[in-house]
Amino acid sequence: MTINLKRLCLLGLVAASATLLACNSGSSGGSSSSSGETGQLSLAVTDGPIDNATNVFLRFTAVELRGPSGRQELIEFESVREIDLLALQGEESEALFVGEEVPAGEYNQIRFLIEPDESQSGPPQNRQVTTSVIRFADEPEQRLAIPGGEPAGVQTQGSFTVPPGGVLALTADFDLRKMITRGVGTQWDGFHRLRRTGIRIIENADVGVIRGQVDASIIPNEIVEQCMPHPDEDKNHYICPGAAVYVYEGIGDDVEFLNIRTDEDGEDLDGNPITTANVRYMPIEDEESNGETWGYFYSAGFVPEGDYTVALTFDADSDDAERDTPIDFVDWSPAPVEAGQATVVNFPTENFEDPGEEDEEENGEDEENGE
């Protein structure tokens, strides 16, 4: 895939050619090395999913790299890059650019500029409503608005270093479950809001994947009945709202099993899941039968090497990043991750707690008390 780009050095506002010439300011202590050395940077995007939606089309116009001293490197696309993030769940990703030459050194933020809807005029819509959309199986699509984003954009914090004469490959994980909220009851009624934070930047060389199967016998009937085929013919899976696996840092007593609620600035709280993965009814290749086997599967990709705990819930569609919405987890398991390897965790595990049994016990207690 060939991506046509052009580079602007924001300090001097100097346009470069469409083949990405390096823009060196010569300043020391910035994101680029004082000697003018460069390295190659690749950047892809992936998605932490959201319930109920079938597509989230983000329309990227540029990527801005920011260094600790305020230096900015802007990489503009010659045409808008439209990407359906919901098509990039689990281990899937799509490149925004590959092997582009940038000043070597440290960076501490990436900002993704999103195409604004120029037809919107007057506050609060002007420059904050975008041409990006979210689609559903059973309701009309809505535009995405980025409150406070002028020009419209979303960003990530976290440092990374482009080595002089070296190569760095990054992936930006858009956690849409945290980022997208309904605008109902606010000035954004009629839109979905895209919060400006909720993106992880991961170095591809340091990541693994957690994947597995959820046995159909433990999935509540109401979840199974809500499963619906993806409306796009090329998407061979069923969407099952509410069924998801959350990934937490740490193992055992270190894990609090919090929901996705963030602080007022949209930043993660200590103990939030680092990512989530929807459970989808879908086929996978069966080596024994040399065919396909349908089942309930999940995959959480781009997980940095380390110790993690995965937890299964059927309440994910009730989770809200802006409100305290405690959700129940029915099972959990340690999930250590090694770079370049797949960690398999199938549910149920020995920690499984059947919510149906709890309901029966509560009903029995009510009958004993004559209620």
pLDDT of 21 reads 32
Domain ranges of the chain: 5-197, 208-355
**pLDDT (mean) for 239-244:** 90
Return the minimum-mean-pLDDT range out of 129-133, 177-181, 338-342. Answer: 177-181
Structure tokens, 156: 């990530």
Residue 122 has pLDDT above 90, yes or no: no
pLDDT digits 0-9 by tens, 215-225 = 999 999 999 99
Strand-pairing partners, residue 246, are: 276, 311
Q: What average pLDDT does range 227-246 have in this prediction?
A: 85
Distance, in Å, from the CA atom of 338 to the CA atom of 162, rounded to the nearest integer, reads: 23
Q: Which residue has the tokens 């149906």?
A: 356
pLDDT for residue 15: 33
Per-residue pLDDT at 31: 42
pLDDT tens column, 35-80: 588 999 999 999 877 777 889 999 999 999 998 777 789 999 999 9
**What is the value of pTM for the model shown?**
0.80
Condensed to tens digits (0 to 9), the pLDDT of residues 251-270 reads 877 788 877 766 555 566 66
pLDDT category of residue 304 using cuts at 50, 70 and 90: very high
Q: Where residue 18 falls among pLDDT bands split at 50, 70, 90?
A: very low
Which residue stretches of the chain are H helix? 176-179, 221-226, 355-368
For 102-135, give the DSSP string: EE-EEEEEEEEEE-B-TT--STTTTTTEEEEEEE
Look at residue 192 in the predicted model and tell me its pLDDT: 85
Q: Which of 137-151, 274-288, 355-369 has the lowest mean pLDDT?
A: 355-369
Q: Report the pLDDT value the prediction gives residue 289, as an integer from 0 to 100.
A: 67
Predicted local confidence at residue 16, as pLDDT: 32
CA dihedral 308→326→315→351, nearest 10 degrees, is: 50
